[in-house]
Structure 1
Amino acid sequence: MAEPLKRMLFGLGDEHVIVEPESGQLLHPEALVAFERLRADARAAGFDPLVVSGFRSFERQCTIWNGKASGQRPLLDSAGCPLDTAQLTARQTAFAILRWSALPGASRHHWGTDFDVVDAAAMPTGYRPQLTPDEVADDGLFGPFHCWLDARIAAGQSYGLFRPYAEDRGGVAPERWHLSYAPRARELQQLLTPARLCELLQECGLALCDTVCADIAEIYTRFVQVPDHCYPQTDQR
């Protein structure tokens, strides 16, 4: 694999992303164009979409992962309740982390095609988004915006943006706030193979690396791969 592509695929560099000027977040140029078009429509409907997390580097994802593996960051169960890492096996710890945090090297945020979005128009002064299920529930703070977005995606009017974690498939917890630009994300996912992931993780000395690589087939299917049927059937350009 060519070095520039490897850096893009695994978040080892940020040469492939540009600044979204209103948030300061980094996005893939094509994802930014799609978002700007969607934002214009949303503003006409009374919403104000704001990107709160765009490109995330491999190093940053490692910090999150290792912090949870060591107990320095909270580790949560599927209901959002704290877990005691001291009572878990290495495999249980790894799978608990994966429920809420991407495996370094496998985060779609590495590509800049994926980003987390909230409705700035709904936020009280000084409010800091938490990206929790309660915020994005139909009756939550950002519920009206996401209901509007549901309709746009269903109608094929979201310019190629979709929710890769719209439903619970037994892996990553649903993330209604997470949008992905399908045309480029689909291409990059095809390059992200289990073998390439393990090779990278073994090079960087990730916490629980041996455990992850021993179960990489199941991890890839449950927590990395977004099934093809979840992607929009057209580019929606």
Structure 2
Amino acid sequence: MAQLTNLQYPALYGLDESHLVPLGQFLLTARTLTAFNKMQQHALSDGIDVQICSAYRNFERQMAIWNGKALGKRTLLDINNQPIDHSRLTDEQLVDAILCWSALPGASRHHWGTDIDVFDGNNISKADLKLISDEYVDNGPCAQLASWLNQHAKEHGFYLPYQANKSGVSPEPWHLSYFPESSQFLSQYQPDSLRQLLSQAEITLQSALLKKLDTLVDHYVFFVANTPE
């Protein structure tokens, strides 16, 4: 795993998981886990089975996702969930296209153990889940879940950091963040540390990323919905 000997808060960048506890195959902070268990039980009483499909991801895992999309080995989707031919894009355009749905390694909220992606286990299996917006609206299998979360997630400390006109990342109705802790992680985040980390990493599009990294961090890390509403 990538290392920085002078990194002050390695957990912010997916380089340390010693603060996390297991929930089956997933890792979360202890407080996030407690809050999730309570929210899950609340939802079950309303007929909704909130299940996690993604939680903590380390830096190397996030970089594998990034490199896969940059190299055309993983499907790259536009804002409307339509496939994009990566070979037709410049490096700068490819960076923007990947960031539409995937976080930059070292800049993902999934590095913290406070953020989870969820689905309704009553209506769709994890294997069939695509994590696209259509699944969470109208007659989608997770539409009832999305409506329930909008009403009740805040009661358990969770909120949606990625919302229309409130975040640089495209709206993700499946992405929940445990605000009491994730807000603290965000306040400690250091763009200079990310620059050092990416400079040492074997990441595709490195030059294009470093060229406009400050702008990317402002837009995709710091520009999120501020508080649960």
Aligned to 1:134: 134
Measure the CA separation in 1 of the matches of 2:29 and 2:167.
28
- Paired residues, what number? 226
Counterpart for residue 219 of structure 2: 222
1:19 equivalent in structure 2: 22
Distance 2:70 2:124 in 1: 33
Please report the TM-score for the alignment, with normalisation by the length of structure 2: 0.90
**Structure 1 spans left out of the alignment, 5+ residues:** none
Answer yes or no: is the 8 Å Cα contact 1:138–1:146 preserved in 2: no
Q: 1:16 to 1:226 in 2, by over 3 A?
A: farther
**Structure 2, unaligned stretches of length 5 or more?**
none
Aligned-residue offset at 1:211: 1.1
1:220 Cα offset (Å) = 1.3
**Residues 114-144 of structure 1: CA deviation (Å, up to 9, x unaligned):** 01011112237x8522211111113211111
Task: Find out whether 1:41 has 2:46 as its counterpart.
Answer: no
The two structures, once aligned, show a CA RMSD in angstroms of 2.2
- Residue from 197, 203, 208 that aligns with 2:205: 208
Question: Residues 89 and 4 of structure 1: is their aligned pair in 2 closer, same or farther, counting only changes over 3 Å?
Answer: closer
Structure-2 separation of matches of 1:179 and 1:131: 13
- SS of the residue corresponding to residue 205 of structure 1 reads coil
Partner of 1:7: 10
- How far has the Cα of 1:35 moved from its partner? 0.6
* Distance in 2 separating the partners of 1:226 and 1:97: 17
3-state SS of the aligned residue for 1:66? Answer: helix
Q: For residue 81 of structure 2, what is the aligned residue in structure 1?
A: 80
The C-alpha deviation readout for 1:144-163, integer Å capped at 9, x for no partner, is 1211111114xx42x21001
Q: Distance in 2 between matches of 1:28 and 1:220?
A: 24
In 1, are the aligned partners of 2:160 and 2:228 still within 8 Å (CA)? no
Q: How many Å separate the matches in 2 of 1:54 and 1:163? A: 14
How much has 1:197 moved relative to structure 2? 1.1
Moved more, 24-33 or 58-67: 24-33
Q: Deviations over 1:16-40 (max 9, x none)?
A: 211114xx21111111111111111
Counterpart Cα distance in 2 of 1:219 and 1:89: 17
The percent of aligned pairs where both chains have the same amino acid is 36
